[in-house]
Amino acid sequence: MKKMIFAPFLIMASLTIIADESVADSDLELMSLYGGEEFISIATGVTQPIAKAPAVASVVTAEEIEKIGARDIDDVLETIPGLHVAKDSTGYNPIYTFRGIYAGLNPQVLMLINGIPITNLFQGDRNLVWGGMPVQSISRIEVIRGPGSALYGADAFAGVINIVTHEANGEEHFEAGARYGTFNTKDFWVSKGGSIGDLKFYGILEGQKTDGFNEKIKADAQSLWDMFGGTNASLAPGSVNTQRENYDARLELVYKNLTLRGGLQSRNNAGDGVGAAQALAENNRLSSQRFNTDLTYDNKAIIKDLSLKVQASYLHTTQEVEGDLVLYPAGSTGPFFDEFGVPIFPGGFPDGVIGSPEVYERHSRLNISSFYTGIDKHEVGFGTGYYYGDLYKVKESKNFGINPSTGFPIMPGDPVVDVSDTPFVFLEEDERENSYFFLQDIWQFANDWELTAGVRYDHYSDFGDTVNPRFALVWSTTRKLTTKLIYGEAFRAPSFVQTRAINNPLLLGNPTLDPEELKSYEIAFDYRPNYDLILNVNAFYYEWDDIIQFVSDPGGSTSTAQNAGEQTGHGMEFEARWSATERLKLIGNFAWQKSKDRNLDTDAANSPEKQLYAQMDWQFSEHWNLNLQANWVMDRNRAGGDARSDIDNYALVDMTLRRKSLWRGIDVALIVKNLFDEDAREPSPNSDFGAFIPDDLPLAGQTIMAEIRYNY
């Protein structure tokens, strides 16, 4: 199968070589094809032209982010070939789906901010109360499609997303802006940069507040319990709960070789989507307070031919509930039925079924890395590091289960009971340690050939050792064509909810889990026939083993996490970027993938098998710019056993009209998302009882925003 996939690309490379043999471009002309924004560092830790980097990678700059009218990083990531942003039912959190690798909590993707992971221990994702991330502080977003564990360790699995914030470069700068639009959505930001002597600084404050869109779902989990229990408690049909109030602050200070960063992400009054248990509730509100800081010493030449980078970082993150979290609304019997399907509490819970879980974590990292260039034609990188993660506090209050004070069941109508610091809490408090060492060599063994080989060893305190290698051969086939052959392995660490969940009536953790594993093979071509046109195409094949799934326990109603799943996938991605004129740029990409669940012998679920993206950016006069983009999401399959028809395809069209220098330093814009008010939906999960949200998860309809910004 792999030979069949790669053969057409080998033929294409051969034909291109023949066509270019007579071309006599100079090396200087070659380098002029790469602008300063076409460089990437996350592929190796060394800054390289993206065409020469040993990875299939994309970079989106702040200028491009502004042109498409993005408010959140998800608006940007949906433009990347082979990457689709789906939605989780709880909180409408993003599920970043690379190449058919889909999981509800999305721990198979590593997100970095300035190269530092923000993975949480509880779910293994960014945070259950994520709330999005605004874009005004962002200088660029770098994305690698494919594994990166040889450099970054755990969770650099299906892909790596690195968010690079604006640096303190010493330039005097001030910017302020605001937006207002549909659903009472309000954004603001203010930033300032400059220097005081040798000290450079940059700071920004951003705020977002919205009532959330009003798209409705027809039925929910409570609709099903109403059928079983004879109740009428469901709030469906009803609107999803997506309101939020966010505040983000970032500060960077640079003094010679030292950089100090600090960040705050405050999430308040956040809605729970279609409900934590896929049942609508009226007043559920969540919050999260996340604080990070890091100190970096970076000396490019501490001695001859040797660089040194030392970085220490700290992240504190919380997942909190404002008031009570209603899992099932007032009058519900909850999912409590005996073996004959008869409700255990036939009168229902007068205040609804309440369960309010809260989690508090702290993460500390120390990393040391170095690159040595004193060996001819080699650039050797090596480093070591230590991570300590502590899920130090778990809180829970609920009105069901066992009352730890009496030892008897909590009955409907009883007050909510705090079970924190008792054996009846939903999750064990625990910690995780990780120490690692990596080695990498970039070897230019011939003028046009470069081999990157690397390996990383990780030791974890809870599941042991793992070794992950990678190899990438980059061939400058001609002055216009680069060919890459890439092999990589990756692992995904089990989350604490998969290893330490207890007292859950449905799902139980398993402390003996192994990490998930991935092996990936890629071939890629970067072709730049002239200064105005870039063509990229790649093909891939992967094997995903030891997938962690919750498997039904014999003779019981619970399911326990097991390394039970296996999946393979293959596909291709194509991207074109054409500067048709000085003022007109066209971008397009197409991704196709076919992934198979090897246990069920069925197509893998939920990921789009085809994606098509097109963008036109047109500066039609000196001060006016029009950006149009369209995104088609197609051919998503249901999970095995899901009797619903396939998920509907959709196409979203966005428009941004921008006027620069309306007055001195003032720009204005009109941003319209989902221009034609398409009924677009992301897949809702299936269960042993069927789909609780049968008509899937609706996305926002037409959204209109007006923007004003001032630069000085």
Domain CATH number, residue 292: 2.40.170.20
Task: Tell me what the mean pLDDT of segment 387-403 comes to.
Answer: 96
Q: Which are the contacts of 479, defined by CB distance < 8 A and separation ≥ 6?
A: 20, 23, 25, 27, 29, 30
Report residue 568 as tokens: 């393979």
Gap between the Cα atoms of 561 and 550, Å rounded: 4
Quote the pLDDT of residue 11: 33
Kindly tell me if the per-residue pLDDT of 605 is higher than 60: yes
Give the count of beta carbons closer than 10 Å to the beta carbon of residue 494: 27
**In this predicted model, which residue has the larger pLDDT, 20 or 573?**
573
Give mean pLDDT, residues 257-280: 96
Measure the N-to-C terminal CA separation of the chain; round to a whole number of Å: 57
Domain containing 152: what range? 2-711
What does the alpha-carbon distance between residue 235 and residue 282 come to, in Å, rounded to a whole number?
Answer: 8
pLDDT of residue 20: 40
Q: How many residues are there in the chain?
A: 712
Spatial separation of the C-alpha atoms in residues 566 and 640, rounded to whole Å: 14
How much is the pLDDT for 16? 37
328 neighbors 226 (Cβ within 8 angstroms): no
Paired with 385 in beta bridges are: 367, 436
* Residue 665 CB coordination number (10 Å): 12
pLDDT-above-90 percentage for the chain: 86
pLDDT at 201 over 60: yes
Q: Is the pLDDT score of 365 beyond 70?
A: yes
Mean pLDDT of 180-206: 98
- What is the token pair recorded at 90? 């709880």
Q: How many CB atoms lie within 10 A of CB 291?
A: 16
Beta strands 159-165 and 109-113: pairing type?
parallel
Structural domain tally of the chain?
Answer: 1
Tell me the pLDDT of the chain averaged across its residues: 92
pLDDT of residue 559: 86
Better pLDDT: 9 or 596 = 596
Give the per-residue pLDDT at 436.
98
Q: What is the pLDDT at residue 554?
A: 84
Alpha-carbon gap, residue 461 to 301, rounded angstroms: 35
User: For residue 349, which phi and psi values (nearest 5 degrees)?
Assistant: -95, 115
- β-pairing, 507-508 with 559-579? parallel
pLDDT at 507 (0 to 100): 83
CA distance 552 to 500: 17
Q: Which two tokens stand for residue 548?
A: 């962690």
pTM over 0.85: yes
DSSP 349: B
Higher pLDDT pick, 395 / 552: 395
Task: For tokens 């910017």, name the residue.
Answer: 175
User: pLDDT at position 558, please?
Assistant: 80
Strand order in the sheet with 109-113: 56-61, 138-145, 159-165, 109-113, 116-117
Give me the mean pLDDT over the 283-298 stretch: 97
pLDDT of residue 688: 78
**Token pair of 385, please?**
């590091």
Q: State the CB neighbour count (10 A cutoff) for residue 616.
A: 15
Name the residue type at position 636. Answer: R
Predicted confidence at residue 33, as pLDDT, reads: 43
Are 144 and 42 in contact by the 8 Å Cβ rule? The answer is: yes
Q: How far apart are CA 676 and CA 147, in angstroms?
A: 37
Task: Over range 242-266, report the average pLDDT.
Answer: 97
- Residue 29: the pLDDT is 43
For residue 46, the model assigns a pLDDT of 87
Q: What is the pLDDT of residue 503?
A: 84
pLDDT at 273 over 80: yes
Rounded to an integer, the average pLDDT of 620-640 is 96
Please name the helix (run of DSSP H) or strand (run of DSSP E) that holds residue 20, with its range, or none. helix 2-20
The whole-number pLDDT of residue 646 equals 87
Q: What's the pLDDT band for 30 if we cut at 50, 70, 90?
A: very low
